[in-house]
Amino acid sequence: MTSLDKSLLDEFESIVGASHALHEDELVASYSTDWTGRFKGSTPLVLRPGTTEEVAQILRVASDANVALVPQGGNTGLVGGSVPLRGEVVLSLLRLNVCEPVDVLAQQVSLGAGVTLAQAQNHVSPFNLAIGVDLAARDSCTIGGMIATNAGGINVVRYGPMRDQLLGVEAVTADGSSISHLEGLEKDNTGYHLPGLFAGSEGSLAVITKARLRLHPQLDERCSAMLAFKSVGDAVSATAQLRRSVPDLHAVEVIFREAMDLVSDYISTSIPVRSDGSAWLIVEAASSSDPTDQLAQAIGDLGDLVLDVAVGHDSTSRAGLWQFREKITEAIATRGTPHKLDVTLPASELAEFVSRIPEIISEVDRRATAVMFGHLGDGNVHVNVLGDDGLEPDNEVESAVLGYVAQLGGSISAEHGIGTAKKEFLHLNRSGQEIAIFRAIKSSFDPKGILSPNTLIPAEEQ
Ligand code: FAD
Ligand code: MLT
Ligand code: ZN
C-alpha cells in the first residue's frame, strides 16, 4: 500500500484541491516524524480536507483502492500513532477548525476535530466557561487527537479525562459513511455509546470530524503551591490527604528528583522551595471565590510531612511555579530521544515503584537514566528513559518497566495511549479474549484494516 499510482493521486487531489494535497519531500516531512523524533515514517501524500464531506470522499476512494491512512491532528502524540510508519497516506484534520457558537444554556460547544485546545479555551472563556482537559501541548494538540487518545492532563483529578467531556461526535468510518450525534443530551440511554468507544481508539475505528463537549464554569480564583517532600511515600500520603480535604482541588502534579534538576537547569531558575527533597508537588485549588484559605489550611494540616512550601496567589507567581512542571517534556527533549513510558500504579505501590525504577532500568541498560514526573492525583507516573549521551536506551527497558507495572497491578498506558510504541505490551493489561474483542470491533468499523494499521491492535500471532 505504499506507492500510489497517478490516477489515484489525481483522484485524491481532486477532492481537496492541489494546494491541500502535499507530496514534495520538504512539505510532507513534518507530518512523517513524531514530536519526540523517535518514530520516523514516510508518506507519498498528505491530504488536508476542509470539510467532513471531503473526509468521507477521501475514505470512499481509499477504501475502494485499499489505501491505508493515518489520521493526524497536531502530531503531539507520544506513542508513535500519528505518523505513517509504513508509507500510509496522512489525513491531516487541521483544517476542520470551526468553533461553533457556545451553547451557554446547555454549557456545551461543538468543535471541529482540528480546533486546537488553546483555540477552544479562548473560544469558550468569554462566556466564563472552560474545557475540562488541559495539557502543556495546548497550542498544538487538537480536539480530534485528544479524543482519539483520550487525553488526560493536569485536571483529571477534578474533571476526568477527555472521554468524560464527550457528549457526542461526528465521525466518518473507513468506508466513507458518516455518523453524527451532536445533540448534546446529558441523558441518552439508546444503546452502545459510540463517543466513549472512539475515545482512546487512536484513529483505528473512524476519523473524528467534530465533537460536542461538556463545559465547566471558568474558575478564575486560584491558588497554587509547590511543596517539597523528603520521600516519595510522604508525597503520596500528602496527595491522599489533600484529595480528601481540599474541596476545590484542581491539580496535584509531581516532579521527582532528576526531573526537578533537569527542568531547573533548562529554565535557568533555582527551585523555589527546599532543593534537598526527593519529590515535589505542585498543587492548585480553583474556585469562583478565593480558595487560598482552604489550601493553606490543608497544607498546614500536613504538618511535618512537608519540608517546605512556596505559594503562588497571582497569575505571575503561579506561572513561576507551574513552569517547573510544564517545561519538563521540552527539557527532556533537549537531552536526547527518550523512551516515554506512561503508567498508572495503585496508590499503595507508587513509592516502591518510583524507588525501584532506576535499578530496574540499569539492570537492562547500565548507562540509561530515568526522569520521572506525572499526575500524582491520578496515580500516573511518566517514566522517561534516556540513553547514554543522547542515544536511545536499550529497547528492553520497556519490557522490564512495563512488566514490573503489570506485576504491581498498574496500567501500561495511563493517558498517552498504546500507539505503535506499546502495542506489543497490550497483553500485560488485556486478556486474549479482550484483544480478540478489540479486533472484532475494529473489523466491524474498518473491515479492510485501512485506518491506522500500525496502532493499538497487536499483530495476530502466526
Ligand atoms: P496526534 O498526535 O495528531 O494524534 C494522536 C492519535 O490520535 C493518533 O493515533 C492519530 O491517528 C489519532 N487522531 C488524531 N486526530 C484524529 C481524528 N480527528 N480522528 C481520529 N483519530 C485521530 N497527553 C496527555 O494525555 N496528557 C498530557 O498532560 C500531555 N501533555 C503533553 C505535553 C507535551 C509537551 C506534548 C508534546 C504532548 C503531551 N501529551 C499529553 C500528548 C499529546 O498532546 C496528546 O496525546 C494529544 O491528545 C494528541 O493530540 P494531537 O492532536 O496532537 O493528536
Ligand atoms: C505531561 O504530563 O507533561 C505529558 O504527559 C507529557 C510527557 O509525558 O512528556
Ligand atoms: Zn501527562
pLDDT at 462: 57
**pLDDT digits 0-9 by tens, 36-58:** 999 999 999 999 999 999 999 99
Q: CA 137, CA 254: separation in Å to the nearest integer?
A: 18
Q: CA 299, CA 318: separation in Å to the nearest integer?
A: 17
- Domain residue ranges in the chain: 6-92, 108-217, 221-329, 335-426
Q: Is the pLDDT of residue 382 over 50?
A: yes
Is the distance from CB of 251 to CB of 157 less than 8 angstroms?
yes
Q: CA 81, CA 168: separation in Å to the nearest integer?
A: 23
Determine the distance separating the centroid of ligand 1 and the alpha carbon of 287, expressed in angstroms: 28
pLDDT at 461: 75
Determine the distance separating the centroid of ligand 1 and the alpha carbon of 352, expressed in angstroms: 30
| Ligand 1-lining residues (CB < 6 angstroms) | 35, 70-78, 81-82, 93, 113, 135-137, 141-142, 144-146, 148-149, 151-153, 202-203, 207-208, 329, 415-416, 452, 455
Domain 6-92 bears CATH identifier 3.30.43.10: yes
Q: CA 270, CA 112: separation in Å to the nearest integer?
A: 41
Tell which residue, 222, 233, 225, 206, has the closest CA to residue 71.
206
Exposed / middle / buried, residue 323 (Cβ in 10 Å: 0-12, 13-18, 19+): middle
Section 416-443 average pLDDT: 98
Domains 221-329 and 335-426 share a fold: yes
pLDDT at 267: 98
**pLDDT digits 0-9 by tens, 330-365:** 999 999 999 999 999 999 999 999 999 999 999 999
pLDDT at 211: 98
Exposed / middle / buried, residue 429 (Cβ in 10 Å: 0-12, 13-18, 19+): middle
Q: Which ligand is nearest to the CA of 378?
A: 3
pLDDT at 261: 97
Is the distance from CB of 249 to CB of 277 less than 8 angstroms?
no
User: What three-state secondary structure class fits 437?
Assistant: helix
Tell which residue, 163, 216, 160, has the closest CA to residue 194.
163
Q: Which ligand is nearest to the CA of 456?
A: 1
* 310 sits in which H/E element: strand 308-312
How would residue 274 be classed by pLDDT, with cut points 50, 70 and 90?
A: confident
Determine the distance separating the centroid of ligand 2 and the alpha carbon of 235, expressed in angstroms: 19
**pLDDT digits 0-9 by tens, 297-309:** 999 999 999 999 9
| Ligand 2-lining residues (CB < 6 angstroms) | 136, 329, 340, 342, 382
Whole-Å CA distances, 240 to 117, 233, 236, 340, 376: 29, 11, 6, 26, 9
Section 251-272 average pLDDT: 97
* 286 sits in which H/E element: strand 279-287
**pLDDT digits 0-9 by tens, 66-115:** 999 999 999 999 999 999 999 999 999 999 999 999 999 999 999 999 99
Q: CA 90, CA 115: separation in Å to the nearest integer?
A: 18
Section 195-208 average pLDDT: 98
Instruction: Give the CATH class of 108-217.
Output: alpha beta
User: What three-state secondary structure class fits 211?
Assistant: strand
Section 123-127 average pLDDT: 98
Section 426-435 average pLDDT: 98
pLDDT at 3: 75
One CATH from 3.30.540.10, 3.30.70.2740, 3.40.50.620, 3.40.50.300 for 335-426: 3.30.70.2740
pTM, two decimals, is: 0.98
Section 183-189 average pLDDT: 95
The residues near 157 (Cβ < 8 Å, ≥ 6 apart) are: 243, 249, 250, 251, 252, 375, 377, 378
Is the distance from CB of 284 to CB of 250 less than 8 angstroms?
yes
Is the distance from CB of 295 to CB of 285 less than 8 angstroms?
yes
Determine the distance separating the centroid of ligand 2 and the alpha carbon of 332, expressed in angstroms: 10
Q: CA 287, CA 134: separation in Å to the nearest integer?
A: 16
Instruction: Give the CATH class of 221-329.
Output: alpha beta
Whole-Å CA distances, 419 to 203, 234, 346, 454: 9, 34, 23, 7
Q: Is the dihedral of CA 181, 187, 190, 193 positive or negative?
A: positive
